[in-house]
Every structure is written in C-alpha cells, then in structure tokens.
Amino acid sequence: MADAPHILIVEARFYEDLADELVRGAVATIESAGATYERIAVPGAFEIPAAVRYAVKSMDFYSGRRRFDGYVTLGCVIRGETTHYDYVCGESARALQDLAVAHTLAIGYGIITVENREQAWARASVKHKNKGGGAAQACLDMLELKRQFRLYPR
C-alpha cells in the first residue's frame, strides 16, 4: 500500500491468555505490512462493536487525532451452559457487520467462537490457525479493496 494504514485493534480481555495470543498474531501481520496500530481493551466480545463505534465517532475533523483506517476485532467466546453464548456471538457479529456496511469500515473479524478452551487455543495460536493474524490480514485486504474503489484514503 502506498500510505501506511493506521489500524485500531480492539481486544476483548475476558480470556486474557487467548487475547494475548490473538493480539500477537494480529500485530505481527500488521507490522509485516508496514502498517501502524493502536490497541484498546474491552471487557468482552459483546463490548467490541461499541468500542469501534466510539472510535469512529471520535475521529472527526476537529479532534486533532489521527483517524483509524481499519479495525481488527479480537476476542473469544466459549460456549457455556446457557444461551448467553448465542446472544454474545450473534449480536457482536451482527453489530460489527452493520458498522462495516453503514460506515464503509474495513473490519477484520477475529472473535473466535468455540466449544472449549482446546478449540480456542487451536484457533488463537500463531503456530496453528492464527485467527488474530487472519483478522488483521482481512482488515488490510478490505483496505486494499477500498483503495480500488477510491474510498481509501478519504
């Protein structure tokens, strides 16, 4: 990319060890692309869409802050004994997709939804499925698509 994109990583810290591994994969991908990033933490996956929206709202002309070109959303939801899992997974995914479509955002979706910690580690580990790195790459790919449509940089 001609200009180095500036990415916001929004990480749910509910499972801190898994969050750290997801972030490790995302940061490696972002840095290898020559992009820059900032990180913010939220309590869980359900809070991620609100944090992205806060960031979008804060980047107005008068703020003086550098805008974010893309967003990498990272977290883990492990199924429990109640339907809470279904609501958190569905609502966070839907809200992020709504934000991406409504505001033309490049969002890399790295919220892993699994049955147990073993599955979570298989997906989060940078040595295995590296979903953090995959989410960062998706964000970068969507920024390139925005560039092709002359929507980035704006």
C-alpha–C-alpha distance, residues 1 and 32, integer Å: 12
- φ/ψ of 144, rounded to 5, equals -65, -40
Does 84 participate in catalysis according to the annotation? Answer: yes
Distances in Å between the Cα of 126 and the Cα atoms of 4, 23, 44, 50, 143 are: 24, 10, 21, 27, 23
Q: What is the DSSP string of 45-98?
A: GGGHHHHHHHHHHH--TTS-SPPPSEEEEEEEEE--SSTHHHHHHHHHHHHHHH
The one catalytic residue among 6, 84, 103, 128: 84
Q: Which residues are catalytic?
A: 84
